[in-house]
Structure 1
Amino acid sequence: MFDVSFSELMLIGVIALIVIGPERLPKVARTVGHLLGRAQRYVNEVKSDIQKEMDLKEIGDIKHQMEDAARSVQSSMTSSVDDLKNAVTQPSQAIKDTLDQARQALDPLPGAAPEAPRTDAAGAPAAAQVPEPDPAPAARPAPAPTESSH
């Protein structure tokens, strides 16, 4: 703190001995020591408070930087997800449109109501039903042998 050499301290001690006197000098020295100790503790507390405030400010700055980085990552992820959704949606929409056009082309009567899709007992769409061919013609009985004259 102060640049005080040993010779300066001796000079102050001699002057204090002359002014204060030998009876009261120890009591005054103790009081001055306590006051200097309190002053040192106060200065150290102020220094630590200032250091804590600086650390809090740095932590706050780091927190803001992290929040900004998190927002940036979130926005980039959101845009990536949107791009991916568009990449998936556009082809599926094109396929759906193509299927709709194919259905319209296969409709026999454009004004007729569409037939309800057939389902099996479980509710799943039934396979396209193909009419069964007519059973094989009944076996013809063989002509009865006729009696012929030989």
Structure 2
Amino acid sequence: MFDIGFWELTIIAVMGLIVLGPERLPTAIRTIRGWVRNVKQFSNTVQTELKEELRIHELHDNLKKAEQQGLKNLAPELQESVDSLKAAAEQANRPYAKDTDSTPKVTESEVKNDK
């Protein structure tokens, strides 16, 4: 990434030892390591979000093309995008689907008993 070799790292370590001293050097190294970890994590998050946004944009464009063709005789990549969007829509609607079997059934005798 920065093209730092062994000798450059050695010089940085010696300078850090001279400037910070042996007591504060481990704390400084841990702090820098934490910063680097946070920057990498942020970078990975941004990269993942950008890939997802590009994927969504591509699916949107493919859906527009498919609608222009009337959703018939689609190219394989367009058909795959449409199928992917349909699957995502079904998955999103699944928690909201009404389950008729889970509704309690009330009989006339229960209604009369409640009165």
- Normalising by structure 2, we get a TM-score of 0.59
Which residue of structure 1 lines up, in the alignment, with residue 45 of structure 2? 45
Q: What is the CA–CA distance in structure 2 between the aligned matches of 1:15 and 1:45, rounded to whole Å?
A: 34
Runs of 4+ with deviation above 6 angstroms: none
Task: Describe the superposition over 1:15-71 as per-residue Cα deviations: whole angstroms up to 9, x where unpaired.
Answer: 000000000101110011011000011111111111111111111111111111116
Q: What is the CA–CA distance in structure 2 between the aligned matches of 1:64 and 1:2, rounded to whole Å?
A: 43
Which residue of structure 2 lines up, in the alignment, with residue 87 of structure 1? none
Q: What is the CA–CA distance in structure 2 between the aligned matches of 1:59 and 1:30, rounded to whole Å?
A: 43
Higher percent of residues as helix = 2
Q: What is the CA–CA distance in structure 2 between the aligned matches of 1:26 and 1:72, rounded to whole Å?
A: 65
Which residue of structure 1 lines up, in the alignment, with residue 59 of structure 2? 59
Amino acid at match of 2:29: A
Q: Which has the higher contact order (CA 8 A, sep 6+)?
A: 2
Q: CA deviation at 1:72?
A: 7.6
Which residue of structure 1 lines up, in the alignment, with residue 70 of structure 2? 70
Which residue of structure 1 lines up, in the alignment, with residue 23 of structure 2? 23
Q: What is the CA–CA distance in structure 2 between the aligned matches of 1:46 and 1:23, rounded to whole Å?
A: 36
- Normalising by structure 1, we get a TM-score of 0.46
Amino acid at match of 1:53: E
Amino acid at match of 2:25: L
Amino acid at match of 1:68: Q
**Secondary structure in 2 aligned to 1:21?**
helix
Task: Describe the superposition over 1:65-96 as per-residue Cα deviations: whole angstroms up to 9, x where unpaired.
Answer: 111111688xxxxxxxxxxxxxxxxxxxxxxx
Amino acid at match of 2:51: Q
Structure 1: segments with no counterpart, 5+ residues: 74-150
Could you say what the CA RMSD is over the residues aligned between the two structures, in angstroms?
Answer: 1.6
Which residue of structure 1 lines up, in the alignment, with residue 12 of structure 2? 12
Amino acid at match of 1:64: K
**Secondary structure in 1 aligned to 2:70?**
helix
Aligned residues: 73
Amino acid at match of 1:26: P
